[in-house]
Amino acid sequence: MHEPPRPLTTRRQALQRLLAATGLAATVGCADSASRHGRLPKPDSVDEPAPIRGKGYKLVKDWDFGRSVTSVEAMREEFFTRYIYNNGQQDALNDEWERYRDNDNHVFEDGALALVARTPEGAIRGKIESGMIRSKWSGQYGYFEARIKVPDGRGMWPAFWLNPQDGKWPPEIDILEVVNNGRDTTRNTFHFVHSGVKDVLPVASSLLNNNKTYKPGTDFKDDYHTYSAEWLPDRVRHYVDDVLVVDREFKWVHRDGSDGGAAHVLLNLAVGGAWPGRPDPAAFPAKLMVKYVRVWQR
């Protein structure tokens, strides 16, 4: 029998326990948002992505790690390196083995930002150090894209996703997840959405297989690819290299039905846990390479 590709219950339970224990309120999100009004230099020329061409979108954030954000200091002006929970200090979720750190876990090389997973004490649960970025900017709706090269190696779980700025979960939009566990590999991509409503909403079109994965015959570890999502008030469309992978109705609401509000942008290299499995020590150091992250809004 096919096992669920993602331990959804684990994530839900972990977040519920975390929020209950910390008493996290919307004030955390407000504190973070105080820094979100900074503006990066506008690029001379950034092509409008094909999926939204002519739809009236404007580029509002262009985090280009080969041009506009090229040092750790500049990165810190735009991003945090921990989750929003626990007053912005949460360094892991679920049963993952990594802990997010700043010990050369954010490295600029070859015109990109490398989020680096290292094993200073060995490939041990809770002792693996890895990198993540969480945007100080937050906003609701738009087109979100990143150009990424995912790492090889069993036990890796890179992700590009949107999470509520008010600190209350769900909702969540996973623009991209790649898991390498021997069953799921770097030839599969996952594109989940999580809403506070339990209704199964209609899917207009999908290239996902019966295991909820997209398999175009490409090994994503071999090169950079562009992953994106158009987030609208009533639906989400996921794209890989401008190919529409899945188009489905979606409600960005909390469990009580209230609006989920603005979202921040996350990229992280998680390692280990129930879904990715035990990491291979030979896979380290592992790097999630990010050329750019862009946000377009109307």
Residues belonging to the active site = 172, 177
Give the pairing of strands 142-149 and 225-232: antiparallel
Q: Which residues contact 180 (CB under 8 A, 6 or more apart)?
A: 152, 153, 154, 155, 156, 157, 186, 276
Helices (H), 69-200: 72-78, 85-88
Q: Which residues contact 55 (CB under 8 A, 6 or more apart)?
A: 298
- ω into 285 cis (within 30 of 0): yes
85, 167 Cβ separation under 8 angstroms: yes
First to last CA, the chain: 44
| DSSP structural state of residue 205 | E
Q: Is 268 helix (H, G, I), strand (E, B) or coil?
A: strand
- φ/ψ bin of 122: left (φ > 0), alpha (ψ from -120 to 50), beta (otherwise): left
CB atoms within 10 A of CB 76: 15
Q: Give me the phi and psi of 255, to 5 degrees please.
A: -65, -30
Helices (H), the chain: 8-22, 26-33, 72-78, 85-88
Farthest CA pair distance, the chain:
53
3-state percent breakdown (helix, strand, coil) of the chain, nearest 5: 15, 35, 50
